[in-house]
Structure 1
Amino acid sequence: MEMDRSTIIGLVLILGIFAVWQYVVAPSPEEIEAQARYQDSITALNDAEMVPADELAPAFTPEDVSALDDSTRQARFGGQFGAFASAAVGSQQDVVLENDLMIVTLNTKGGNIKRVELKNYAKVVEDEEKNEIKLPLYLLESERNRFEYLLPATGVSGPGVSTSDLYFTPQIDGNTVTMRASVSGGGYFEQRYTLTDGTYLMDYDIRMEGLGQAVNAQGGKITLQWDNYLDKIEKNSDYEASYSTIYFKPVDDDTDYCSCTSTDTEEVPEQRLKWVAGSQQFFTSALIANEGFSPGAVLSTETFDDETSPYLKKVSAQLEIPVTNANSEVFGMQMYVGPNEFDRLRAIGYELSDVISFGQSIFGAINRWVIRPLFQFLSKFIGNMGIAILVLTILVKLLVYPLTYKMLVSNVKMQVLKPELEKMKAKHKDDAQQQQVEQMKMYSEYGASPLGGCLPMVLQMPIWFALYRFFPASIEFRQENFLWANDLSTYDVLTTIPEWIPFMQGHISLFAVLWAITTVIYAYYNSKHMDYSAQPMMKYFQYVMPLLFLGFFNSFASGLTAYLFFSNTFNIGQTIITKNFLIDEEKLKAKMNANKKKPKKKSGFGSRLQEALKEQQRIQSEQEKKKGKK
């Protein structure tokens, strides 16, 4: 009973204390009315339309939607926002900054970019009937994006005050928008955006005035957190994702980047960064520091396994802004939000053009300084990029034709020599080693070589590998029409097929099919008289190989498959015309017979090769004798 009485007394005391606490902290009728007006204002703002920049008041006149005076705000929000309590409530509205290329929409809640529309580019989507529909192209538009500074406000626990929780007051001055979050005592944190015509590059500065007592940045820096959810813009989103990541440039080092194919994190604890950029296949959002960000940056990319996700990837940058805790500080930056146009990015400098995925090897150099300038030159005279690809094919074929001619002469030599080789093999049909020795001897005597046709193909391989990276990375081919292809930067669609068919991704590319067919035809003409008796499977593999690669090229850039189709077509034409009209087989045969009668001076390599074959033949003969004795 004693324990029950104590329990009852304790409960009564607790209830009494709770009642007194409720009475003390309960808001006054005036505060209740103010909160109601605040909620009504927010509801009205959610339904309001975007306010153009030229219609905003040009002076700093914060709208007091909460009807709370400074002392009441400080009392209510000071523990969470410190001296920034006066900016904890306000009106949320859109502010537009525009030039001839883009429309930048800023939000007063956070003072950051809400979205950017690129006027000269469009996003293409397909309806249920596979009809293409063009929509406005937006960057930085996801509601899940974050662009916020963590201000270590005095008297606030945790990491500090996030600017995304503050309401900024806009001021318009020509082509400049200033967003300002005030603190008690007259200071402020300011973000300033300036956009001029003819560029996708904005001047972007942050200014801290009179924050010496309000902000205490220990360590001499404040943190900027930038999370950017990359939207799916291109038709082949799987391929687009493989070209999307975050790039960064240390001040005194080469450009680097996170993995393009998997979730990855890169820490830069000791180097200052010049810029960071969230880059997609054809578009980039970059932040460039005038003097460099402080060491300690963390860059990351996150992939999404869910194919239904509207995002390609999430790219993030945690950057450190250097500060000195002075009464007045400015940190200057620039923001590039626009297309991956090589000349435009290169003009900005600081190796920003490295965000274009031309490649970092020798093939990347070929793309940047050979193929790209060549296409740029051709585009001055040719209005269609498909025709420019055709002209490029012709130029390459003319350039390598002298070597192609030698290749075809070598093929004809092998054709002439084929009867003699067959006689030799019949003579030594039971001795494979002797066949090899005699075959090398005949090649030397007649001046023929089975490898004579390889050089032109080897010389063209760097161009093929370079073009493999060039077409999907060059925005000049994006949404460019040619014949049946609507976009030379991605696959063309002859017809759709069921998704369950392996390797074809639900469609058939006509350029890829034409490439496969012409590859088979070219292989037939090129190897018609070659001897495959030693490796008979090679005869069939050259016909199977194009079918195996069809699944790969079926979803690749139609600009590349068009080039390969044109290349094969010219190869076939050159082979037929050269062999039938330019090479006299009888004269070549007479020349080979005359060459046989000439005394031969064996080269060092030829002599060593024949000696090696003879030595191999001797060893094999001795091993067979030993087996016979056993």
Structure 2
Amino acid sequence: MDRTSIIGIVLIMLLFLAWQYVAAPSAAEIEMEQRYQDSIAALSEAELRAGEELPAQTDVASPAELSDSLRQVQYGSRFGAFATAAAGTAQDIVIENDLMKVTFSTKGGTIRQAELKNYAKVVEREGKEELHLPLLLLEDEKNKFEYIIPVNGVAGDGVRTSDLYFTPTVEGETLTMRAPVEGGGYFEQRYTLTDGTYLIDYDIRFEGLNTVMANTDGTVRLHWENHLDKIEKNSQYEASYSTLYYKPVDDDTDYCSCTSDDTETLDDQPLKWVAGSQQFFTSALIADDRFSSAVLTTVADEDRLSDDELKLLVSDLNLPIGSSASETFGMSFYVGPNEFERLRAIGYDLSDVVSFGSSIFGTINRWVIRPLFNFLSGFIGNMGIAILVLTLLVKMLVYPLTYKMLVSNQKMQVLKPEIEKIKAKHKDDSQSAQVETMKLYQEYGASPLGGCLPMVLQMPIWFALYRFFPASITFRQENFLWANDLSTYDSIMRLPEWIPFMQGHLSLFAVLWAITTVIYAYYNSRHMDYSAQPMMKYFQYIMPVMFLGFFNSFAAGLTCYLFFSNVFNIAQTLVTKNFIIDDDKLRAKLNANKEKPKKKGGFSARLQEALKEQQRQQSSAQSKKK
């Protein structure tokens, strides 16, 4: 080897040594690379444990610490252009108005919880001690609110925004959160609160994502899982009033099943809004325009829920998104109480989430009973007193019919001696006795059905109130006498769980209703004849006891109304029979009716003919047997 070759080799070795020295990584870079390798190992282990499901947050270096190449290697296959927003630290951002305080998380850019300032959750401890806690909605840690954005280079449905970290900006009562993409674009969620309302203005924006998003059918899917937690004292009844409501753009409001698992697939039915409603509170998402389609699911099966869960509501909504460089979809978020007037002011039939009913009884609740209670509460501070006044008004309105009922009952009492003579005459022939009795009623102008009309007319009010009290937030946590909440049962005593139908407690208003029902039935039936149907005499006493188990867990507002109604019935009966109806005048009137010429036809005549025909058929059948 000549001298020139040796000098060249030495120079090359010196240059190589110098390059190694200059290019060697610093201690910080070595540490960062080690953290990267540890993160890759952690991800691999998590994938082995959970299949395709990746952890929501991994202990990795933040995007600021990673170089572009390392970030793309670590997150590119899963997040594509959103790799910049794929790692970070979750932070809570709070904005509030006079009615609510809303906490947002930068992880996913969604509502983490909403506190309603004017309402409380009451937890009953042992010894009937009550603990008032803040009332929170959308607070369950298992909740999800995420958009699935189809992105180039990302397998599966696309990128889920719940896995992204958003950059927050707060200006007054407006919160803007952005998840950036490579090249300067971003996905944005903007929330704005305004005083005096539970309505949150909510918009999403796709800026510069037209080159990032994969070709789709022109929609982006929103996946919303709302795990409803138990809020009210009677969670079983609360569950029966909790479900998903939805409003088709060109149709009436509808809802999923309230009592069992249900799925509604609305492929070709655009929706204006969807609402997860509990007994007294609702979280609704309202589109400025429309959601193009949806799949709505409710899970009510207790075996599929945790102990503290009421129901699971799942909404998969498709949002129509164009292909331009800047796309916006406007919405509103209602997170608040089921106050009828407040929801009605929003429009789009959102007040239908208040479970007053959809039949004629719902109409009575919305436009008769509700306005009447609003009027009474305007000058009556206690809702229990308002119920008492309502009962009095109803009884005054139907008193003319009640008076006729009592006169009809008194006629039966006056005619009882004549009826006894007919029974003695036809003691071996019940058919003949019934025919003669009907003929007697016709002669004297009496009717055994005269007492039914007032009760029939009051039944729509009873059925309407059955739905009204547990659905109206007006009575929630309103005190009256021993009841501390008129929207649920008024427990005065704990009972063993093994007692059937009572559900571990005793409600005093329900007991008082049962007792007064028995008293009223006894007073009215003293002069009635039950020889044809002897079981009816005992059934009228058994029925209140049977219904006690039903009313025992019902809203105290209703059982309070029914108890007051019985008290007024007894009072009206005693006063009317003892001080208003004159038996002598009534007897004279009956005798005068007997002397009047009788018109042929009428209900009594037709009933009498029917009984005669039945009697002839029975006699004919007996003759053939002989």
Given the two structures, how large is their TM-score scaled by the length of structure 2?
Answer: 0.90
8 A contact 1:525–1:575 mirrored in 2: no
Q: State the Cα distance separating 1:605 from its structure 2 match.
A: 3.9
Q: What does residue 81 of structure 1 align with?
A: 79
Q: State the Cα distance separating 1:28 from its structure 2 match.
A: 6.6
Q: State the Cα distance separating 1:147 from its structure 2 match.
A: 0.2
8 A contact 1:504–1:555 mirrored in 2: yes
Q: What does residue 5 of structure 1 align with?
A: none
Q: State the Cα distance separating 1:217 from its structure 2 match.
A: 4.4
8 A contact 1:37–1:65 mirrored in 2: no
Q: What does residue 597 of structure 1 align with?
A: 595
Could you report, residue by residue, the CA deviation over 1:153-207 in whole angstroms, capped at 9, with x for unpaired residues? Answer: 1110101000000000001111100010000000000000000000000000000
The answer to whether 1:477 aligns with 2:478 is: no
- Supply the distance in 2 between the matched residues of 1:108 and 1:275 (Cα, whole angstroms): 25
- Supply the distance in 2 between the matched residues of 1:393 and 1:613 (Cα, whole angstroms): 41
Matched residue SS, 1:288: strand
- Supply the distance in 1 between the matched residues of 2:625 and 2:569 (Cα, whole angstroms): 52
Q: What does residue 370 of structure 2 align with?
A: 372
8 A contact 2:442–2:605 mirrored in 1: no
User: Among 146, 149, 172, which residue is 1:148 paired with?
Assistant: 146
Q: How does 1:387-402 map to 2 (within 5 A)?
A: 387-402=385-400
Q: What does residue 272 of structure 2 align with?
A: 274
- Supply the distance in 2 between the matched residues of 1:66 and 1:483 (Cα, whole angstroms): 63
Could you report, residue by residue, the CA deviation over 1:448-507 in whole angstroms, capped at 9, with x for unpaired residues? Answer: 111101111000000000000000000000000000000000000111111111111111
Letter in 2 for 1:111: G
Q: What does residue 341 of structure 2 align with?
A: 343
Q: How does 1:533-612 map to 2 (within 5 A)?
A: 533-612=531-610
Letter in 2 for 1:539: K
Letter in 2 for 1:544: I
- Supply the distance in 1 between the matched residues of 2:461 and 2:251 (Cα, whole angstroms): 29
8 A contact 2:63–2:84 mirrored in 1: no
Q: What does residue 172 of structure 1 align with?
A: 170
Q: What does residue 314 of structure 1 align with?
A: 312
Q: How does 1:39-438 map to 2 (within 5 A)?
A: 67-295=65-293, 297-306=294-303, 309-438=307-436
Count of aligned positions: 578
Q: State the Cα distance separating 1:618 from its structure 2 match.
A: 1.9
- Supply the distance in 2 between the matched residues of 1:604 and 1:310 (Cα, whole angstroms): 62
Matched residue SS, 1:189: strand
Q: Which range is displaced more, 69-78 or 565-574?
A: 69-78
- Supply the distance in 2 between the matched residues of 1:155 and 1:581 (Cα, whole angstroms): 91
Q: State the Cα distance separating 1:66 from its structure 2 match.
A: 5.1
Letter in 1 for 2:298: T
Could you report, residue by residue, the CA deviation over 1:392-431 in whole angstroms, capped at 9, with x for unpaired residues? Answer: 0000000000110110000000000111001011101111
Q: State the Cα distance separating 1:36 from its structure 2 match.
A: 10
Could you report, residue by residue, the CA deviation over 1:573-615 in whole angstroms, capped at 9, with x for unpaired residues? Answer: 0001100000001110111011111111122444333332222
8 A contact 1:115–1:141 mirrored in 2: yes
- Supply the distance in 1 between the matched residues of 2:610 and 2:393 (Cα, whole angstroms): 43
Could you report, residue by residue, the CA deviation over 1:203-232 in whole angstroms, capped at 9, with x for unpaired residues? Answer: 000000000111124100010000000010
> What RMSD over aligned residues (CA atoms) do the two structures have, in Å?
1.7
Q: What does residue 515 of structure 1 align with?
A: 513
Letter in 2 for 1:94: D
Letter in 1 for 2:205: R
- Supply the distance in 2 between the matched residues of 1:435 and 1:94 (Cα, whole angstroms): 84
- Supply the distance in 1 between the matched residues of 2:77 and 2:607 (Cα, whole angstroms): 87
8 A contact 1:445–1:596 mirrored in 2: yes
Q: What does residue 43 of structure 2 align with?
A: none
- Supply the distance in 2 between the matched residues of 1:36 and 1:491 (Cα, whole angstroms): 60
Letter in 2 for 1:587: K
Q: State the Cα distance separating 1:326 from its structure 2 match.
A: 1.1
8 A contact 1:194–1:203 mirrored in 2: yes
Q: Which range is displaced more, 508-517 or 434-443?
A: 434-443
Q: Structure 2 regions of 5+ residues with no counterpart?
A: 1-27, 41-60
Letter in 1 for 2:300: T
Q: State the Cα distance separating 1:137 from its structure 2 match.
A: 0.5
Q: What does residue 624 of structure 1 align with?
A: 622
Could you report, residue by residue, the CA deviation over 1:104-148 in whole angstroms, capped at 9, with x for unpaired residues? Answer: 100000000100000000001122333111000000001100000
Q: State the Cα distance separating 1:34 from its structure 2 match.
A: 5.9
- Supply the distance in 2 between the matched residues of 1:425 and 1:129 (Cα, whole angstroms): 60
- Supply the distance in 1 between the matched residues of 2:475 and 2:579 (Cα, whole angstroms): 38
User: Among 463, 476, 479, which residue is 1:465 paired with?
Assistant: 463
User: Among 439, 448, 451, which residue is 2:449 paired with?
Assistant: 451
Q: State the Cα distance separating 1:308 from its structure 2 match.
A: 6.3
Matched residue SS, 2:228: strand
Matched residue SS, 1:96: strand
Q: 1:33 to 1:264 in 2, by over 3 A?
A: same
- Supply the distance in 1 between the matched residues of 2:90 and 2:618 (Cα, whole angstroms): 89
Matched residue SS, 1:234: coil
Matched residue SS, 1:118: strand
Q: State the Cα distance separating 1:65 from its structure 2 match.
A: 6.4
Q: Which range is displaced more, 127-136 or 379-388?
A: 127-136
Q: Which range is displaced more, 236-245 or 69-78?
A: 69-78
8 A contact 1:34–1:66 mirrored in 2: no
Q: State the Cα distance separating 1:31 from its structure 2 match.
A: 2.9
Letter in 2 for 1:619: Q
8 A contact 1:37–1:66 mirrored in 2: no
- Supply the distance in 1 between the matched residues of 2:353 and 2:70 (Cα, whole angstroms): 50
Letter in 1 for 2:143: N
8 A contact 2:92–2:106 mirrored in 1: yes
Could you report, residue by residue, the CA deviation over 1:74-105 in whole angstroms, capped at 9, with x for unpaired residues? Answer: 23211110000000012210000100000010
Matched residue SS, 1:512: helix
Q: What does residue 29 of structure 1 align with?
A: 30
Matched residue SS, 2:539: helix
- Supply the distance in 2 between the matched residues of 1:388 and 1:341 (Cα, whole angstroms): 18
Q: 1:604 to 1:562 in 2, by over 3 A?
A: closer
Identical residues among aligned pairs (%): 72
Q: 1:36 to 1:483 in 2, by over 3 A?
A: farther
Matched residue SS, 2:332: strand
Q: State the Cα distance separating 1:627 from its structure 2 match.
A: 2.3
- Supply the distance in 2 between the matched residues of 1:570 and 1:132 (Cα, whole angstroms): 34
- Supply the distance in 2 between the matched residues of 1:243 and 1:600 (Cα, whole angstroms): 56
Matched residue SS, 2:398: helix
Letter in 2 for 1:103: K
8 A contact 1:38–1:66 mirrored in 2: no
- Supply the distance in 2 between the matched residues of 1:292 and 1:281 (Cα, whole angstroms): 26
Letter in 2 for 1:69: S
- Supply the distance in 1 between the matched residues of 2:36 and 2:390 (Cα, whole angstroms): 69
- Supply the distance in 2 between the matched residues of 1:64 and 1:159 (Cα, whole angstroms): 25
8 A contact 1:66–1:90 mirrored in 2: no
Q: State the Cα distance separating 1:365 from its structure 2 match.
A: 0.2
Q: What does residue 56 of structure 1 align with?
A: none
- Supply the distance in 1 between the matched residues of 2:123 and 2:508 (Cα, whole angstroms): 21
- Supply the distance in 2 between the matched residues of 1:32 and 1:68 (Cα, whole angstroms): 9
- Supply the distance in 2 between the matched residues of 1:497 and 1:618 (Cα, whole angstroms): 57
Matched residue SS, 1:458: helix
